[in-house]
Amino acid sequence: MKTLLKILSALALAIVLVAPFLYLAGALSMAPLQAWLLGATIVWFVCAPPWLWKGNS
Amino acid sequence: MRESQSLAAEPHGPPVAEEFEREPVPPRALKGAKSFWGMYAGEHAAGTEFMIGPLFLLAGVSLYDIVLGLLLGNFLAVLSWRYLCAPIAVHARLTLYYQLEKIAGTGLVKIYNLANGILFCFLAGAMITVSATAVGVPFGLPMPSFDAIYPESVAFVVAVLVVGAVIAVVAGFGYDTVSRFANVAVPWMVLVFFACGVVALKELGVDSWAGLVAVWTESIDFAQGNGGGVQTMGFWSVVLFAWFCNSAMHLGMSDLSIFRYAKKASYGWATAGGMYVGHYMAWIAAAFMLAAQIKVAQSAVPLPGPMAYHVTGVAGIICVIIAGWTTANPTIYRAGLAFQGIFPRSSRLSMTLLAGAVATAAAVFPALAFKLLGFVGLYGTILAPVGGIIFADWYLARAAGVEQFPAARTGEKYNLAVLFAWLLPVGVALWLITMHGVTTWYFPLPAWIACAALYLLFRKWTAPAAARP
């Protein structure tokens, strides 16, 4: 489970990183870009705390 | 300022634990380099970064000056941490407060605490204002205009009061939770900062450096013709601002409290993580956001919430809120600790809430955020010179015939040599700033040097013979 959450978290960060470049390249328009960023944000805040929070203690 | 129990746990400033407050950090408590890189990268991804970049554009800074000036200025800041602050920290392993107390006396440290606490409140106030601009977007609240000094709408004031109250109460009751949450948010937040810049670049519609420079220049022309003012900042002004905007931390030795946990002084290089993520990439990204807003919406008002929403949508709003919240939280907490240092019998909670109330009251005035460049320069001008005294005491005192840690030896509560060495250069700087309009970020280094020299001079004159080495 923890591994899956880590993979999903990494995927979310990858989307936040890559999506703007797709927009820059013209492969993505503004509305889908913002939707992807919001989706990745939700995934990050759902998947990262369970494994990252504990590591902070 | 940032006493830490766990550096890794608190990237946005770790004032939680009062561990090793009055003793050197023992070897078993030292941290690895990774903790410092993470902490500094997170700490400088703050809500106020969204303000500073756009303010450069409004000040008429050329693109070359921003790109090269920030590169150099941030490097000088890193060098200051590495070669001024970190070496003393890893040898003394004391908090700034305790080390200063041993030089200045317990009474004088309270005066420093007061100055520190008040300035922290204003800094937190700017962060609350930034968050409120983001909270206002989904509710369609009227936003303040760029030349506004006083609040312009009741709705925005209410938003500020709500945001400030939430931040203050959370800082009082759940500081640790927010600081852990900040740690979780940092990697995402840094990437959203970056995304804002990339998307804004596309919005500018340029495909070459020359095109970018042209659009940038047009943006300045538009901004300065629409209430942005006519002030200009050149290359050296950008360099000095980048160098001294955190001068209270490096020249001012506030980060002795952080680096006392470092195994080696070379960990001072870790500050590059904060400088080049937060004070380079994020500032430039935020400046591009304003340029994009000018081009698309013909508005030069640098409101972080609407700017971020324009380029990255709801994710951008969330980022501004979290960036403001997670940095205002420890700032208010630190202010509360500083006030508690003045009133030791008061509870930490009551002092944190007091600090939150002051910060929120300050946040109501949008000028605080819009004049952020000047404020952070003032912050450094007032606090950084104290670090000059610590430097002089550590490296130069014996050679100058002055005893080290004099207050600890004599028991004096107010080392007047420290008081006057601090007040004189700061007083002259404040006079030049207020009466002659000299830019605030020119002063931290001259005041630091003057403070160090005056301290040695005054102490040599005034020290009782018995206290001389």
pLDDT, one tens digit per residue, over B35-70 is 888 888 888 888 889 999 999 999 999 999 999 999
- Residue B162 exposed, middle or buried by CB count within 10 Å (0-12, 13-18, 19+): middle
CB contact B296 to A (< 8 Å): no
Which pLDDT belongs to residue B292? 95
| A53, part of any domain | no
Q: Where do the domains of chain B lie?
A: 7-372
Between the CA of residue B220 and those of B135, B225, B281, B337, what are the distances in Å?
A: 27, 8, 20, 42
Residue A54: pLDDT band with limits 50, 70, 90: low
Residue B77 has pLDDT above 50, yes or no: yes
| A54, part of any domain | no
Nearest 5°: phi and psi at A7? -65, -45
Task: Find, in chain B, the residue whose alpha carbon is nearest to that of A28.
Answer: B199
Chain A residues near residue B202 by CB distance under 8 angstroms:
20, 23-24
- Select from B180, B188, B312 the Cβ nearest to the Cβ of A13: B188
User: How are the residues of chain A apportioned to helix, strand and coil, as percentages rounded to the nearest 5?
Assistant: 85, 0, 15
Site from A5, A9, A11, A23 to mutate, B interface, most B CB atoms within 10 angstroms: A23
Tell if the CB–CB gap between A53 and B184 is shorter than 8 Å. Answer: yes
**Distance of alpha carbon A7 from its chain centroid, rounded?**
10
Site from A16, A36, A38 to mutate, B interface, most B CB atoms within 10 angstroms: A16
In chain B, pLDDT over 70 holds for what percent of residues?
Answer: 93
Tell if the CB–CB gap between B314 and A17 is shorter than 8 Å. Answer: no
| A10, part of any domain | yes
Which pLDDT belongs to residue B35? 84
| A55, part of any domain | no
Q: What would the two tokens of residue B434 be? A: 């207020």
The residues, ordered by sequence, that sit 6+ positions from B79 with a Cβ below 8 Å of its Cβ are none
Domain count, chain A: 1
In chain B, pLDDT over 90 holds for what percent of residues?
Answer: 66
Separation between Cα atoms, residue B122 and residue B416, nearest integer Å: 28
Q: Where are the beta strands (DSSP E) in B160-317?
A: none
Q: List the domain range (segments joined by +) for residue A28.
A: 2-41
Residue B18 has pLDDT above 90, yes or no: no
Q: What residues pair up with B31 in beta bridges, in sequence order?
A: B262
Tell if the CB–CB gap between A37 and B184 is shorter than 8 Å. Answer: no
Which pLDDT belongs to residue A19? 97
Separation between Cα atoms, residue B110 and residue B344, nearest integer Å: 10
Which pLDDT belongs to residue B196? 97
Residue B16: pLDDT band with limits 50, 70, 90: very low
| A47, part of any domain | no
- Select from B184, B199, B318 the Cβ nearest to the Cβ of A20: B199
Residue B443 has pLDDT above 90, yes or no: yes
Residue A12: pLDDT band with limits 50, 70, 90: very high
| A35, part of any domain | yes
Residue B7: pLDDT band with limits 50, 70, 90: very low
**Residues B370-420: pLDDT tens digits?**
899 999 999 999 999 999 999 999 999 999 999 999 999 999 999 999 999
- Select from A17, A34, A57 the Cβ nearest to the Cβ of B315: A34
- Tokens 């950090």 correspond to B25
- CATH fold group of domain B7-372: Hydantoin permease (1.10.4160)
Residue A55: pLDDT band with limits 50, 70, 90: low
Q: What does pTM read for this prediction?
A: 0.90
Separation between Cα atoms, residue B387 and residue B110, nearest integer Å: 16
Calculate the CA dihedral of residues B371, B148, B169, B124 and round it to 10 degrees.
0
Q: What is the mean pLDDT of residues B325-338?
A: 86
| A9, part of any domain | yes
**Residues B218-263: pLDDT tens digits?**
999 898 875 555 557 899 999 999 999 999 999 999 999 889 999 9
| A49, part of any domain | no
Site from B4, B137, B312, B319 to mutate, A interface, most A CB atoms within 10 angstroms: B312
**Residues B120-174: pLDDT tens digits?**
999 999 999 989 989 988 888 888 888 888 888 899 999 999 999 999 998 888 7
